[in-house]
Each structure stands twice: as structure tokens, then as C-alpha cells.
């Protein structure tokens, strides 16, 4: 992918070492913040960006100078993708009557406190609608390449664009509608989750379409994106982890579905082509 290194997005919060807007707390610090939160009735973990874990310099994931230097090119790349995707949606979303509001990207290691609660790196990248932030441990990209077999910078870009797709859904009110429908009929919870995830894949494709129009894609980039979408399909992950596939337990969609919806967004560049709900996610 064609991009220019050398800068960080103003929408990045770097909590990898307790820096930026966040800090990593030991057990004592966690107890203090918890007590203050209870006394004041405020979520001070969210307000301070504090994460639960060992204090900086105490090991357990603290960011060293060597780690920082090694990850800096990736930080700059996700900065570019974040800003480019959000600039694209700032142009596209008003066409369907929704103003765009920028999300923030939180970089963390091991564990993080979000507006949606404490999360571990093992959960993978995620979007929290409560605080409109995307969270990612950059170590996931190592897993994407080695464990899931999806190398390349555009594979990494797809992951972030998918999470920004969830932010778009939040701004459009889609995620709230899905949560309400899941509460109304819990039997549809997994099916609706799949449709929501596939739509985020399609929205990632809408951004990819924009990059192609602006000649930012290089040979093989589109294939990298589709390979990443396929790599994180429920069927492939289940086969790797359990040796069998349970379609009824899918929450994100099969490799075939995820690839197809990402490709649809990338081909059309049309938000309205991403209606996974009317189509049944097929």
C-alpha cells in the first residue's frame, strides 16, 4: 500500500506503557481508583485511561525502548490507515444523511480498561461504542501473519478498517438496533451478530474501494485484504482450534461470507450495497 511514514494521528491514544492518556496500575492503584470511582459515582478508569496490570517497568508487558522502536513503523502505518479511513467516511457518510464523528484508536499491551469493560489482548482488536474507541494490541498483527496466515500491510489495514466500520454502524444507529433485536429474541443473537460483522467487512471494503480510486493500492493488496477476511472466518478459526465446525455458534461469519462482503464493498464503494440484514448475510 502506498503511504507516507513519519507521523502519528492525533486520534491515537498510546497506552502501551501507561503513557499518553492512560496509565497501567498495580493492585494497589487499582483498588484506589476503584474506591474513588465508587465514592464519586464516576468511572475513573475510563476518565483517566488507566489499565489494570503491573506498573510500568515492572515487567508483564511494559513497553521497552527496544519494543517502542520495533513497533513504531506499525504505529505510523495504523495512524495513516486510521486517518485515511476516517477522512473517507467524513466524505461518504453525509451522503446517507449521517454526519461523521471521528473515533479514537487506543494502542495497548496485554490488557486495557475500555468504556465496555476490561479486555485482554487474546480478544483481538475491538470497537467499544460506549466510548467510541477502537482498541488494538499491535501483537495481533504478528498473530495475523503467523497464526492466521494473512501477511501484508493491507491485511493489517483491513483489520483496522473493519473496526472503523463498527464505528460507522454506531453513528448510524445500527448496533443499537441489533442489540435491541437480540434482547427481544435471544434466539437470533448469533445470527444478528454475524450480519453486523459482515456489514463491517463490507464497510471496510468501501474504504478499500476509495484507496483503489486514489491509486493507493499496490499489486496484491486487494488479495491481502481478502485473505485476511477469510483468515478470521468462524469456520476457519473453529477448525484450527477445535478440529470441527459448528455453524450455529458463528458470531462473525464464515470465511466465504466475510470475503464476499469485503469484496462487495470494495467493488461497489456503495454504503447501501452493504445491507447484510435484508440479504440475510448471504
pTM for this prediction: 0.84
Q: What string of pLDDT tens digits covers the 282 residues of the chain?
A: 999 999 999 999 999 986 334 444 555 555 555 656 565 555 555 555 554 544 333 334 568 888 899 999 999 999 999 999 999 999 999 999 999 999 999 999 999 999 999 989 989 999 999 999 999 999 999 999 999 999 999 999 999 999 999 999 999 999 999 999 999 999 999 999 999 999 999 999 999 999 999 999 999 999 999 999 999 999 999 998 999 999 999 999 999 999 999 999 999 999 999 999 986 556
Q: At what angle do helices 153-172 and 65-92 cross, to 10 degrees?
A: 50
Residue 173 zone, left/alpha/beta (φ > 0; ψ -120 to 50; rest): left
Q: Which residues contact 159 (CB under 8 A, 6 or more apart)?
A: 125, 136, 140, 141, 144, 228
122 grid coordinates: 487474546
Amino acid at each position: 500500500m502506498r503511504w507516507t511514514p513519519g507521523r502519528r494521528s492525533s486520534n491515537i491514544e498510546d497506552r502501551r506503557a501507561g503513557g499518553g492518556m492512560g496509565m497501567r496500575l498495580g493492585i494497589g492503584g487499582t483498588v484506589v481508583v476503584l474506591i474513588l470511582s465508587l465514592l464519586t459515582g464516576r468511572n475513573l478508569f475510563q476518565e483517566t485511561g488507566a489499565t489494570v496490570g503491573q506498573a510500568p517497568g515492572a515487567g508483564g508487558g511494559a513497553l521497552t525502548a527496544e519494543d517502542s522502536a520495533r513497533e513504531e513503523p506499525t504505529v505510523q502505518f495504523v495512524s495513516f490507515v486510521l486517518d485515511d479511513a476516517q477522512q473517507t467516511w467524513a466524505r461518504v457518510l453525509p451522503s446517507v444523511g449521517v454526519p461523521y464523528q471521528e473515533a479514537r484508536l487506543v494502542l495497548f499491551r496485554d490488557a486495557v480498561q475500555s468504556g465496555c469493560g476490561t479486555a485482554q489482548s487474546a480478544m483481538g482488536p475491538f470497537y467499544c461504542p460506549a466510548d467510541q474507541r477502537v482498541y488494538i494490541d499491535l501483537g495481533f498483527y504478528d498473530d495475523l501473519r503467523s497464526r492466521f496466515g494473512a501477511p501484508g500491510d493491507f491485511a493489517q489495514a483491513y483489520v483496522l478498517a473493519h473496526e472503523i466500520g463498527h464505528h460507522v454502524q454506531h453513528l448510524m444507529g445500527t448496533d443499537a438496533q441489533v442489540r435491541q433485536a437480540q434482547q427481544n429474541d435471544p434466539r437470533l443473537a448469533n445470527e444478528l451478530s454475524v450480519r453486523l460483522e459482515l456489514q463491517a467487512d463490507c464497510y471496510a471494503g468501501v474504504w478499500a474501494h476509495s484507496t483503489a480510486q486514489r491509486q493507493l493500492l499496490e499489486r496484491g493488496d486487494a488479495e491481502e485484504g481478502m485473505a485476511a477476511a477469510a483468515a478470521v472466518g468462524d469456520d476457519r478459526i473453529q477448525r484450527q482450534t477445535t478440529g470441527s465446525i459448528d455453524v450455529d455458534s458463528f458470531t462473525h461469519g464464515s470465511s466465504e461470507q466475510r470475503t464476499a462482503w469485503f469484496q462487495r464493498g470494495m467493488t461497489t464503494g456503495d454504503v447501501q450495497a452493504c445491507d447484510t440484514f435484508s440479504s440475510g448475510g448471504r
